[in-house]
């Protein structure tokens, strides 16, 4: 696991732990809902994603794979996209 990916997973686990009132050790590959989450908790989580990652994760994307692994993969794609956009603005193009 890359350092950046590990930081994202750690932050996601912290958010789930706070919202779901479970310990981070309990958060494995279970879904948000299997851990006791509901639609209101999901909306709180989506708000926290936007606040912490500056990314607006849609409810639909969240529901496609409501696991730490699935959400971290989406955030990694977003982070990579932002990095490439930043490079383009500086005149740096990845090949």
Supply the pLDDT for residue 94: 38
Q: Kindly tell me if the per-residue pLDDT of 33 is higher than 70.
A: yes
Supply the pLDDT for residue 7: 92
| Tens of pLDDT, residues 38-71 | 999 999 999 999 999 999 999 999 999 999 999 9
DSSP-assigned letter for residue 54: S
Helix, strand, or coil (residue 34)? coil
pTM of the model: 0.78
pLDDT bin (cut points 50, 70, 90) of residue 83 is low
Take residue 6 and report the two structure tokens written for it: 């590990």
């Amino acid at each position: 696991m890359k350092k950046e990916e590990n930081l994202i997973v750690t932050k996601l686990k912290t958010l789930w732990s706070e919202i779901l009132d479970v310990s981070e050790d309990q958060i494995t590959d279970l879904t948000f809902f299997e851990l006791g989450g509901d639609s209101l908790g999901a909306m709180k989580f989506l708000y926290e994603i936007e606040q912490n990652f500056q990314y607006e994760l849609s409810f639909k994307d969240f529901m496609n794979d409501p696991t730490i692994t699935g959400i971290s993969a989406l955030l990694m794609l977003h982070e990579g996209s932002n990095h490439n956009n930043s490079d383009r603005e500086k005149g740096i193009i990845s090949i």
